[in-house]
Chains A and B, each alone.
Chain A
Amino acid sequence: MENHNEPLYLYPVWIRLWHILNALFCLTLIITGLSIQFSNPTIMVKFRAAVAIHNVAGVLLSFNYILFFVGNLFTKNGSYYVFEVNGFFSRLKTQFHHYTIGVFKKEAAPFPVTLESKFNPLQQFSYVAVMYVILPLVILSGLGLLYPEITVNSLIGISGLDYTDLLHLFCGFMVTIFMCIHIYFCTFGKTAISNFKSIINGYH
């Protein structure tokens, strides 16, 4: 779906490093998280080990998130996450139309990757949602579960820990769904594996 010939250097080292770590931590957290939630009988990882690994991976993911967050505050990469509000929904529709119909007709991508904008509107929307809404929430709620004493005691009769737990599960679930879709959409490159190569060597 790309229409450029010169490879673009889109993924500097810090992004690639952050991305691979983020992927590994998320996978670990999903596997151990499911093992904690459905613990008897044991699925995948034993409960105690799952809790220990989940805690460590959660803390490491949080530090990794700080790298992403600060990096995007102060480098050009942050600009890719800024979307113009005017006409955003129609652009979203165009991209959606491309993914659901256009792609089967081998139509060219409506928003080709450039140095100025490496994400299409749907990517932009989902990446902002997952990185700036879901992930902060999953980190904060995870912190609340790690240190239950910092959560609110109770709100309208329900323990604050309940809300935190539910929020953590919801966000964890959203991250899981995101990961499945994200990995599939990465096969939309020039070839099925070209995007995977890009995030390793940095060139698109």
Chain B
Amino acid sequence: MIYRANIRPAWVVLVLLLCFAIAFALAKHSDSPADAKQTTKHEVQEKIDMTKFKNSETNEQCLKCHGQSKYTYENAESKKMVNKRMYSELIIKRDEFYVSNHKGFKCTDCHSEEYGTFPHSGNLRMESKANCLDCHGGDEKYAKFQFEKIDSNFMASVHSQKHSTDFTCWMCHNPHTYKINARTNENLKETITYDNLICLSCHSDITKYELLTNKEKPNILVKHEWLPNQASHFTNVRCIECHAQNKDTLIVAHQIVPKNLAVKKCESCHAKNSILYASLFKYQIQENIKTKGWFKGLFLSETSTIGPDQNNTLNIISLALFTLTLLVILIHAVIRIQKSH
């Protein structure tokens, strides 16, 4: 056979690679403005009309001071107007409160009516605060959220066991901003980020961390150095998937386990019986199937993880093809050997 100086495959691949690189660069380039647009849209949606909340007018009496970083009052003796800074932890941001789960409440539903007078009485600081169960416990309307179970899990968690009673629900769930996520947000990544920020509010903030312990705050990035593709894990997995006992239910795991019991085996997630599919991922897929149907719900979900997403059919097909190949080779070899004798 005469070799003709046609184009070598290597050149073809090189040109294709170049085209691929250009296409990839263009795709990445066009990605960013689209993302930016989405954020703007999202932000616009977050801008809310405060007047539509029934108690917003009443609440304004509190929020006119507590809604911003400074408040103004008249000094009774000097008759002068005085500007003071509001302590950051006493500031209630309207745009966060009015999208939270408790947006319909009056401030005085939970806080004393006596706050109506200014200056507030010093005794009010001693006011005991309600916790979740005080309102939600034993209420049929909230039964599906299983507050009692959450409470018993929390009691068994390191958060409760290793700290004083100062560690309340409010340490993690700010009653003024908390909003339910996993059940209402279709965007899995947003839910994951939201839930992780709850943990990080103490574990990456020394001032809040120090309120509960004198121990040195561990550096999360250093502690998780062993984790490959750290950034990817942090944005795609909730802290509680590894640091809490996850039961086969959506209720958010509240039983945070001691650090030596945290999941550290890659196979716990990257395998067929992945723990990731015990709660959030499972719920997300079930909901997707309900709303988008079987195909889209199961296959077009964002819950992809390397390892557990094995498709049994594909496994069987590939095993069959592999066996067939070996079988053909074997038969061919046997006939060859027989014929050669």
Contact = CB atoms under 8 A, between A and B. Distances in A.
Interface stretch (A17-25, A72-80, A194-202): A72-80
Contacts of A176: 322
B220 to A, nearest CB: 20
Contacts of A145: 306
B7 interface: yes
A105 B335 CA distance: 11
Given A40-B271, A116-B3, A103 B336 contact: yes
Contact of A180 (B17, B318, B325): B325
| Interface bracket on A | 35 or more
A194 to B, nearest CB: 15
A184 B336 contact: no
Interface string A169-183: 000010011001100
A132 B12 CA distance: 9
Interface string B300-331: 10101011011000000010011001100100
Interface centre among B10, B270, B299, B300 (most CB of A within 10 A): B10
Nearest to A140: B20
B10 A40 contact: no
A80 to B, nearest CB: 8
A162 B304 contact: yes
Contacts of B232: 148-149
A37 interface: yes
Interface residues of B, number: 50
Given A116-B3, A162-B304, A51 B9 contact: no
Interface in A37-71: 37-40, 42, 47-48, 51, 69
Contacts of B27: 152
Interface string B257-285: 00000000111101111000000000000
B228 A40 contact: no
Interface string A141-163: 00001001100111011110110
Nearest to B265: A47
7 contacts: A47-B270, A106-B339, A149-B231, A154-B302, A158-B299, A158-B300, A173-B321
Interface of B: 1-14, 17, 20, 27, 31, 228-229, 231-232, 265-268, 270-273, 296, 299-300, 302, 304, 306-307, 309-310, 318, 321-322, 325-326, 329, 332-333, 335-336, 339
